[in-house]
Amino acid sequence: MSALQGKSIVVTAGPTIEPIDPVRFLSNRSSGKQGYLIAEALAAGGANVRLISGPTCLPCPNGVERIDVETALDMLAAVETALPADAFIAVAAVADWRPASKQARKAEKAAQGASLDLVENPDILATIAQRENDRPALVIGFAAETHDMLDRARAKRLRKGCDWIIANDVSGDVMGGDENAAWLIGQTHETEWKRAPKKTIAENLAAAMDAHFSSR
């Protein structure tokens, strides 16, 4: 029997959107595909999966409970509400910044240009990884990089305080595409996953988590 059976796992996926006014927002190119496939693979292994998703066009995976959010603040609140859990996987591409205030009406186009005051969003991965009372036993982050991928991912794992980090190069067609290549980086091990369908990457991660929990 899979060691994932009955495990409670929280997964974030997709982008967040940060409203400027009722029409405009800040966001990114994340499609949510990799996170949804990870949730699906974990559920297929018997885990109880809560998928906290930013706006996507994807159907909810079979056997997964999906919680829809929009902003980074919404996503953090939903993750904290979903705890305690055995594992947390931060796949979502959370916007780093949000407008300092949302305008109630559509902003008019400025003839001489315009400026936008921004404030930093909470770091969801670091917040969960550094919790004292109900930190999940396994916290996994993603490092979407365009250069110096492995070095930046290793540094990010230490900085955030997570157990594993998945490094992938997004300088090509990964965001929105159907394939990915990645490295699983832990404290004492690094494993390369060659370019393959995102479903295969998800299954690789589920297998690694199964092995991890089996050894405990």
Active-site positions read 28
CA distance 50 to 82: 8
Sign of the torsion angle spanned by Cα atoms 54, 191, 3, 160: negative
Sign of the torsion angle spanned by Cα atoms 80, 126, 85, 177: positive
Helices (H), the chain: 33-44, 72-82, 124-129, 149-160, 198-214
- What's the per-residue H, E or C state across 99-146? ECCCCCCCCCCCCCCCCCCEEECCCHHHHHHCCCCCCCCEEEEEEEEC
Torsion of CA 71, 73, 78, 83, to 10 degrees: 140
Burial label, 162 (beta-carbon count in 10 A; 0-12, 13-18, 19+): buried
Tokens of 194: 């060659």
